[in-house]
Amino acid sequence: MSDTSSRLRIVWIYPDLLSTYGDQGNVLILRRRAELRGIPTETVHVHSSDAVPVEGDVYLLGGGEDRPQILAAERLRADGGLKRAAERGAAVFAVCAGYQIIGETYGDDAANPLPGVGILDVRSNRGQTRAVGEIVADVDPALGVGRITGFENHQGRTAIGPSARPLSTTVKGIGNDDATEGAYQGQILGTYLHGPALPRNPALADLLLRWRVGQIPPLQPSWGETLHEERLAAALR
């Protein structure tokens, strides 16, 4: 956890620009699953007019429309706090528009390439068709997460560079390119999954916790695991 605090510091970046489809639920479930294990937490909401603190443990970014996405990328690049936090080993979990802008480049609504924050070796552009609907994917076995599910609504197509790895292979849906979904590099993870992703996939939340606090005890199955199984079964009908 943070060198300056005994609490797990969860940083929610730009909720005024990047928070579509209830992505703040990712913050809530991460905090809840930490506290159920006796891990004290602190949640910091960073608006686009604020500086991004460097001394966080887990940084979360949600989805957004085209113009807010551009504004968020510009401000994050100018601020530099997120990049410095990633360089010092913080975990980053970014969804949809947030996923695209933490990469090297992403496309605007006219398919022009724009610079991203550059903490994940991916490059995104606009595809010919929009990906909308349920998505199911099998996570890289090295991460110990299993099968994940979510909702996608984007026109992005994302190519993964040599420094990153695909988060998962798609079973249903489009994801990055109709073959893989998301990407990760060290403790930086991006995905197109809304839902929100962490409430629908508690094992993903636990992965972020393990990255920051080490081994964690299992929890008794509850509504999160039930929701995961229900949505998975519905998506594969």
Q: Which residues are catalytic?
A: 96, 194
Strands 113-115 and 8-13: unpaired
* Residue 130 annotated as lining a ligand binding site: yes
- Can you say whether residue 222 is alpha, beta or left, with left for phi > 0 and alpha for psi between -120 and 50 degrees? beta
What is the DSSP annotation of 34-52? Answer: HHTTT--EEEEEE-TTSPP
Q: What are phi and psi of 42, to 5 degrees?
A: -135, 130
Report yes or no: 25 and 194 within 8 Å, Cβ to Cβ.
Answer: no
Give DSSP secondary structure letters for 84-139: HHHHTT-EEEEETHHHHHTSSEEE-TT--EEE---SS-EEEEEEEEEEEEEEEEEE
Of the candidates 197, 186, 141, the residue with the CA atom closest to the CA atom of residue 164: 186
Which residues fall in the annotated binding site for substrate? 130
